[in-house]
Amino acid sequence: MDTEVLREAPLFSGLDDEAAQALSASMDHSRLGRGEVLFREGDEGDRLYVVTNGKVKLGRTSADGRENLLAILGPGQMFGELSLFDPGPRSATVTAVTDCTMQSLSHDDLGKWLDGRPEVARALLEQLAVRLRKANDVVADLVFSDVPGRVAKALLDLSGRFGRATSEGIQVNHDLTQEELAQLVGASRETVNKALADFASRGWLRLEARSVLLMDVDRLKRRAR
Amino acid sequence: MDTEVLREAPLFSGLDDEAAQALSASMDHSRLGRGEVLFREGDEGDRLYVVTNGKVKLGRTSADGRENLLAILGPGQMFGELSLFDPGPRSATVTAVTDCTMQSLSHDDLGKWLDGRPEVARALLEQLAVRLRKANDVVADLVFSDVPGRVAKALLDLSGRFGRATSEGIQVNHDLTQEELAQLVGASRETVNKALADFASRGWLRLEARSVLLMDVDRLKRRAR
DNA sequence: GACACACTGTGACTGGCGTCACTTCGGCGC
DNA sequence: GCGCCGAAGTGACGCCAGTCACAGTGTGTC
């Protein structure tokens, strides 16, 4: 089943079955329990990872110990590419948000694929471009939007990736605490909590343990911009 | 002389003279005067540009018309890669900060180089990785640092790229108005002005027209983090 | 069942910074 | 030299959101 997820991953797009099989075979497997750390900001390391199951968070810590999440990644998404092409220590800490499994590839092995297979290079370029565009969007949001707006946007983003339509609305099991959600939008836990409570009181969503039910996506979208 | 600048550009790193010559020959030239717009957010377009002379700014505009600068780019730096690998409209507006010249390459032409020359793909991957890391740093700064800290950081960044050591300190001819500097750090012009005035009153720098003289880089560095 | 501990919910207070409203400065055209 | 206009400098004021300080709530462990 892991190989099915891998076939969907952007890194594998454009590869035929045989090549995908070979690439997959050269990857190592690993497993993490909720809260466990895969590697930390500043560590050495140049492996590329693909999440096959569960969710991880990429975070950075400021000098005075506060934390900020760059992204929440789920099945099929990759991370660790930065240390591959811009050599240096890891730029973020990766922690499991749920129990999860992933597969990884060493710098050297990836290099062989890159040189022989232009489509792998293309896939990576595309992936980095998407990430860069997203990072720029985050910057714009931090500059232009207030906290409720950023919370709304984060919920919509999570719903697109982890949501499931039900009769009442979109059920989003994000597996994040409000503290983590706050770190993701760059705000304090209290402020995020108040924004969520406000949305709930307006009937736009219902709060549940580590998940939300989005009931009025249009209003949330309007609030997000 | 343009070709000299090009040889220094990351895109050309790893190419031998002959290949660099051929790549350069397939590029178009263009020229812009201060304040002129090359293309706007939302425009169609898939050319990759390299600045050969002068400076440009990449900016985005919010729904209510406020502006935010993603980067100031000088000779040797490239832009427009996003639309190449993540097809879609341009994600930022590019405006000349000074009179400037640049060369550009079409998507299709670049494609040929990518497939035949793994080193070009490598160079681009590296470039995107650097940009992505920087974008993540900007996000962290917006979350963790106050406006004076971000101003200090921006000045240090500009000094690294456009600074010239003199007997009194580092002369940085950034060519930006305080309004533009404010958009670059995501703050209001007034607040940036007050931060600069404060730094000047402490003797850390001296303000000049569209340039600054950095006199105490260490203190600025300490203030920046 | 009882306790511990992590997470959530909410109010009071405060400060950084955006907005507004000026004044001052400097370069450029006539 | 004079007026104009964009840029730079500066104070008053208000609000968003961070911090602090609790009070609930739920969940896992013994």
Interface contact flag, B128 A128, Cβ < 8 Å: yes
Amino acid at B28: D
Among residues of chain A, what percentage have pLDDT more than 70? 99
Interface contact flag, B63 A225, Cβ < 8 Å: yes
- Residue A174's contacts (CB-CB under 8 Å, 6 or more residues apart) are A72, A158, A162, A181, A210, A211, A212
> With bands split at pLDDT 50, 70 and 90, how would you rate the model's confidence at B3?
low
pLDDT at B11: 77
pLDDT in tens, A177-195: 999 999 999 999 999 999 9
Classify burial at A206, counting beta carbons within 10 Å of its beta carbon; exposed 0-12, middle 13-18, buried 19 or more: middle
Put simply, whether B154 touches A (Cβ < 8 Å) is no
pLDDT in tens, B153-203: 999 999 999 999 998 889 999 999 999 999 999 999 999 999 999 999 999
Mind spelling out the 3-state secondary structure of chain A? Answer: CHHHHHHHCHHHCCCCHHHHHHHHHCCEEEEECCCCEEECCCCCCCCEEEEEECCEEEEEECCCCCEEEEEEECCCCEECCHHHHCCCCCCCEEEECCCEEEEEECHHHHHHHHHHCHHHHHHHHHHHHHHHHHHHHHHHHHHHCCHHHHHHHHHHHHHHHHEEECCCCEEECCCCCHHHHHHHHCCCHHHHHHHHHHHHHCCCEEEECCEEEECCHHHHHHHHC
Instruction: Name the residue closest to C17, CA to C1'.
Output: B191
Among residues of chain B, what percentage have pLDDT more than 90? 61
pLDDT exceeds cutoff 90 at B35 = no
pLDDT exceeds cutoff 80 at B4 = no
pLDDT at A107: 87
d(CA B150, CA B185): 6
Mean pLDDT confidence for B11-40: 85
Contact between residue A32 and residue A55 where contact means Cβ atoms under 8 Å apart: no
pLDDT exceeds cutoff 70 at A21 = yes
Task: Identify all chain B residues contacting A68, using CB atoms and an 8 Å cutoff.
Answer: 139-140, 143-144
Mean pLDDT confidence for A198-217: 92
pLDDT at B33: 87
The edge-to-edge listing of strands for the beta sheet with A56-61 is A37-39, A93-96, A56-61, A67-73
3-state SS assignment for residue B81: coil
Q: Which nucleotides of C are covered by protein (CB under 7 A)?
A: 6-12, 16-21, 26-27
> Which tokens belong to A199?
């949305």
pTM: 0.89
Run of H or E including B152: helix B147-162
pLDDT exceeds cutoff 70 at B1 = no
Smallest Cα–Cα separation from A73: which of A144, A127, A17, A12?
A127
> Which tokens belong to B126?
């590296």
pLDDT at B22: 82
> Which tokens belong to B34?
């201060």
pLDDT in tens, A146-171: 999 999 999 999 999 999 999 889 99
Sign of the four-CA dihedral B145, B149, B151, B153: negative
> Which tokens belong to B75?
């000779």
Classify burial at A187, counting beta carbons within 10 Å of its beta carbon; exposed 0-12, middle 13-18, buried 19 or more: buried
pLDDT exceeds cutoff 90 at A12 = no
Task: Identify all chain B residues contacting A147, using CB atoms and an 8 Å cutoff.
Answer: none
Contact between residue A115 and residue A124 where contact means Cβ atoms under 8 Å apart: no
Contact between residue B57 and residue B1 where contact means Cβ atoms under 8 Å apart: no
> With bands split at pLDDT 50, 70 and 90, how would you rate the model's confidence at A3?
low
Amino acid at A138: V
Over chain B, what is the mean pLDDT? 90
pLDDT exceeds cutoff 60 at B36 = yes
Among residues of chain B, what percentage have pLDDT more than 70? 99
> With bands split at pLDDT 50, 70 and 90, how would you rate the model's confidence at A60?
very high
pLDDT exceeds cutoff 70 at B5 = yes
pLDDT at B2: 60
Mean pLDDT confidence for A5-33: 83
pLDDT in tens, B85-137: 888 899 999 999 999 999 999 988 888 887 777 788 888 888 899 999 999 99
Run of H or E including B138: helix B118-144
Nearest CA in chain A to B65: A144
Over chain A, what is the mean pLDDT? 90
- In the beta sheet, which residues pair with residue B163? B172
pLDDT in tens, A61-70: 998 889 999 9
Residue B130 CB coordination number (10 Å): 14
d(CA A131, CA B131): 10
Mean pLDDT confidence for B210-222: 93
pLDDT at A1: 52
> Which tokens belong to B153?
């950081």
Task: Identify all chain A residues contacting B128, using CB atoms and an 8 Å cutoff.
Answer: 85, 125, 128-129, 132
Put simply, whether B60 touches A (Cβ < 8 Å) is yes
Mean pLDDT confidence for B74-83: 89
User: Which one has a higher pLDDT value, A184 or A9?
Assistant: A184
Mean pLDDT confidence for B40-60: 92
Sign of the four-CA dihedral A215, A217, A218, A221: positive
CB-contacts to strand C (7 A): A 177-179, 189-190, 193-194, 196-197, 207, 209-210; B 66, 146-148, 186-188, 190-191, 209
pLDDT exceeds cutoff 80 at B14 = no
pLDDT exceeds cutoff 70 at A2 = no
pLDDT at B17: 79
Contact between residue B89 and residue B44 where contact means Cβ atoms under 8 Å apart: yes
d(CA A122, CA A143): 32
Q: How many CB pairs under 8 A join A and B?
A: 114
The edge-to-edge listing of strands for the beta sheet with B93-96 is B37-39, B93-96, B56-61, B67-73
Q: What angle do CA A67, B71, B118 make, to 5 degrees?
A: 90
User: Which one has a higher pLDDT value, B151 or B117?
Assistant: B151
